[in-house]
Amino acid sequence: MSVLFPSMNNMHFNQCNRIITSLVTVLCTLLSTVYGRPNLLPSFDTPQVNVTVIENKDAMLPCSVNHLGELTVLWQGPQGEVLTLNDRRVIDTHRFSIVRPYLRDWNLHIDEVKLSDQGSYTCSIGPQPVLAKVVNLHVKVPAEIVSNRSSPTFQKVKEGDTVILTCNVTGQPTPKVNWYRRGAKESDDKKEKVVGLDGEVMIIHNISRYCDDVYECQAYNGVASSVSRLMRVVVEFPPEVRLPNPRIGQSVGKDTILECIITAEPIVTIYWMYRNTEIQRSTRYDVEAYDEGPKTVILTVRIFDLTKEDFGEYTCVAKNKLGMVKKSMTVFEYIDTKEVDSTTATPHYTIKGKEPENTATEVEVMKPSNDDPEATSFTRTSTNGYSNPKNERPGVIGSVSDKGQKGQASTVSTTIPLLCLTTMLTALLQ
């Protein structure tokens, strides 16, 4: 039969082959549609991701899906709220959007991230989630000092008060706060300028005038540059007056300068008084004030052409809102006892002398004529050492300072070695 009908057998075979191939194709298609292929199930590239961003910067939360097919991609926020469905935005804010650089990417983009955006975001495959990927968003916030919650940049306190300096800071992570005393001597070693303990509050107990300075709080958390705030603390205290020379002697007709040193904060009113009257600048007086360092002033009055009326008690007065203080000094007449002029005729003297057992000798020399109006007596005391007959303070013109008791005259002392004194007595007796 094969030999008799060769063409019919070939045709029948080809038809059967085509039918079988079609049936297999249809069956495979049906099986693929109903059951799917195990190796083509949807999957994420990574199961979980951590993203860190600085506040006010943009953030990109990645989500890449393999073999998505006809399924949908859903993004949810930290509170479970739906943000996007596929590439459509659901939430009512333009800060969230889907970015797809490749077909399998469904990245969530957030504009100008806020601290409140921090949390865990979920990328899910739906409509009924079969897979979910978590992306943790961490937001860092640079250190910032809150001015209205911090101490003022300038404040006045009284000596002895307790001062609390506050530097309120915010930031993520929590900033570290250091305190510095900026008015202190600069040093390469920053630790030498650090004051107090780390923290937002620094307390100064029983503050003194020596704590008057500029203080700085500095906050840093590693996100951006450190921030700082300067605080000027002024310590107020009542005046203090010091007189370098409580007694000054000067001759009639000469000038003299009186001086007092005043320390106070604030220095408001300072003046000199004489006979209960404030001394004003005039042709008789020149009043000047000079800075002598922090919170210290030197107040001087120069008295021109001294007269008998100028000798007496002068008072330096200083006052501020915390108190008043005054100190007085005495200006007395200084009489310059001169040596006998050796060019004039030598008069006859009566010498009363006694040489004591100790090393000091007291000699009184007198002119014999009582009618002579220039008759003078004087006493010289001799010791083994040397003394300065005038205790003059530099800068006080032509004056003699006497720091002895009030109302006592100055004693002019001169040192004369015993041998010289013996020679002088021998010459006078001849």
For residue 232, what are its two tokens?
């000027």
> Bridge-partner residues for 230, per DSSP?
216
For residue 146, what are its two tokens?
């809150």
Contacts of 261 (CB under 8 A, 6+ apart): 241, 242, 243, 244, 292, 296, 297, 298
Mean pLDDT by 10 residues, the chain (430 residues): 45 56 50 51 88 96 92 94 94 94 95 96 84 95 96 97 97 96 61 78 96 95 95 97 96 96 95 96 95 93 96 97 96 77 40 39 36 36 33 41 42 38 46
DSSP secondary structure letter of residue 210: G
Alpha carbon distance, N-terminus to C-terminus of the chain: 194
pLDDT value at position 418? Answer: 42
- Does this model's pTM top 0.75? no
pLDDT value at position 359? Answer: 37
pLDDT value at position 15? Answer: 64
Exposure letters 310-325 (e unless 16+ CB within 10 A, then b): beeebbbbbbbeeeee
pLDDT value at position 407? Answer: 39
pLDDT value at position 18? Answer: 59
Output the furthest CA–CA distance in the chain (Å, rounded). Answer: 196
pLDDT value at position 41? Answer: 83
pLDDT value at position 410? Answer: 35
Tokens 């005391």 locate to 381
Q: Please give the C-alpha separations between residue 129 and each of 50, 70, 86, 124, 143, in angstroms, as whole numbers.
A: 22, 13, 13, 6, 41
For residue 130, what are its two tokens?
């079969």
DSSP secondary structure letter of residue 34: H
pLDDT value at position 115? Answer: 95
- Residue 426 host element (H or E): helix 418-429
